[in-house]
Chain A
Amino acid sequence: MVPIAWYLILAAVLFSIGIAAFLIKRNVITIFMSIELMLNAVNLTFVAFAHMWGQVSGQIFVFFVMVVAAAEAAVGLAIIIALFRVRQTLNIDQVNLLKD
Chain B
Amino acid sequence: MFHARHSYNRSTGRIESTMQVALFIIFGLLAVAGALNLLFQHHPINSALSLIVVMMSLAVLYFSLGAEFLAAAQVIVYSGAVMVLFVFVIMLLNAGEEQHTRGSRMAYIAGIPGTAAIFCMLTFLFLKNRGVFGATHLSDSLSGATSNITQVSHQLFTSLLLPFEATSILILVAILGAVVLARKES
Residues of A within 8 A of B (CB): 1-10, 12-21, 23-27, 29-30, 32-34, 36-37, 40, 43-44, 47-48, 50-52, 54-57, 59-60, 62-64, 66-75, 77-82, 84-85, 90-93
Cα A14 to Cα B27 with chains together (Å): 13
B28 touching A10 by the CB < 8 A rule? Answer: yes
- Tell whether, in the assembled complex, residue A75 and residue B126 are in contact, meaning their CB atoms are under 8 Å apart: no
Q: Does B156 contact A (CB under 8 A)?
A: yes
- A12 touching B126 by the CB < 8 A rule? yes
The 9 closest A-B CB pairs, nearest first, are A23-B111, A71-B174, A78-B181, A5-B130, A4-B133, A16-B119, A12-B122, A78-B178, A17-B35
Residues in A with CB closer than 8 Å to B112 are 20, 24
* A44 partner, pick from B58, B127, B160, beta carbons under 8 A: B58
Residues of B contacting A: mostly: helix
Using A24-B111, A51-B67, A55-B2 as known contacts, say yes or no to A81 and B92 having CB atoms under 8 A apart.
yes
Task: Say yes or no: A81 contacts B115, CB within 8 Å.
Answer: no
Contact A51 B65 (CB under 8 A): yes
Of the four ranges (under 10, 10 to 19, 20 to 34, 35 or more), the interface on chain B belongs to: 35 or more
Q: Tell me which of A9, A26, A66, A77 contacts B85 (CB under 8 A).
A: A77
A63 lies within 8 A of B156 (CB): yes
Chain B residues 147 to 186 lying within 8 A of chain A, measured CB to CB, are 148, 151-152, 155-156, 160, 163, 167, 170-171, 173-175, 177-182, 184-185
Q: For B151, what are the chain A residues with a Cβ–Cβ distance below 8 Å?
A: 56
Question: For the complex, is B26 an interface residue (Cβ under 8 Å from A)?
Answer: no
B101:A93 contact, CB within 8 angstroms = yes
Q: Are B178 and A2 in contact (CB under 8 A)?
A: no
Indicate whether A13 sits within 8 Å of B82 (C-beta atoms), given known contacts A47-B70, A74-B174.
Answer: no
* Cross-interface CB contact of B118 among A19, A21, A48, cutoff 8 Å: A19
Chain B contacts for A73, CB-based, 8 A: 82, 85-86
Query: A-facing mask of B95-108, CB < 8 A → 1, else 0?
Result: 10011111110011
| Contact between B24 and A6, CB atoms less than 8 A apart | yes
